[in-house]
Every structure is written in C-alpha cells, then in structure tokens.
Homo-oligomer: A and B are copies of this chain.
C-alpha cells in the first residue's frame, strides 16, 4: 500500500511541491482515495498528504476499517484527523525525518506500523535540507 503514497509524493515533487503523499484504503486493500501535499501547488495550507487523501476518499460513514498510509509521520493536525475519525490503522513510511503525533493516535486506538523505507528517508531528508524554509512553513515551525 505504501507504493500508492510514494507515487503521490513523487507526483508532488514533480509539481514542485512538498513531497509527501498519502492514501486511504479499506483494511482489505481497496483504495478509497489518495493525495499529496498541496501547499505550493494550490497555496493551500490545509492540504497535507493525509488530509488530501482523506478528502479525496469522499464521505465515509465509518473509518474504523480503513488504513491511512502516509510517506511521513503524521503531524498533530493529521494525527487529530486520525483520532477524530477513528481511522483504524496507520502506516508510516518515514518517522526518522519527522515525528508527529503517531504514538498519540496509537494510544487512542489506531494500530501503527512504521516502515522506515530507505528511499523515503533519503528523499525527505534531502528535501528538508534543501527547502528548510518551506518545510518549516508546512509544519508551522517558526
């Protein structure tokens, strides 16, 4: 499932955006929606990878049996999304370059799987090093 999120991150990078992607699946692996960070592309501060995937999945009655797959550890905003909607499982591609609220989401009921994919860690590390101002803007670090 991580490959869909990785492809979204690559798409965002190709668009000149922040290379973070995510995808929401059913537990059975059916893709409900995927998306990527849209801060640069749309000047939209509200669309992180996870919120974009959540939006693109459309209205769902329950998220208990869904899986949020994200290339980077979900920030507090996206971890709050996971908690509020009771998303059942979270798969994180990289929590080396950034650690958000994934353990808090886990305490509140989400299963957590951390992959730490070498390619993602390298890619995101390079992005943060090269674009630190944009990166800090995206996570509200001042």
Contact = CB atoms under 8 A, between A and B. Distances in A.
A11 interface: no
How many monomers of this chain does the complex have? 2
Interface residues of A, number: 35
A25 interface: no
B86 A77 contact: no
A81 to B, nearest CB: 5
Contact of A142 (B47, B58, B61, B137): B61
B140 A85 contact: yes
A62 B142 contact: yes
Contact of A54 (B46, B86, B142): B46
Nearest to A81: B77
Contact of A86 (B43, B79, B142): B142
A67 B137 CA distance: 18
Interface of A: 39, 43-47, 51-52, 54-55, 57-64, 75-81, 83-86, 100-101, 137, 139-140, 142
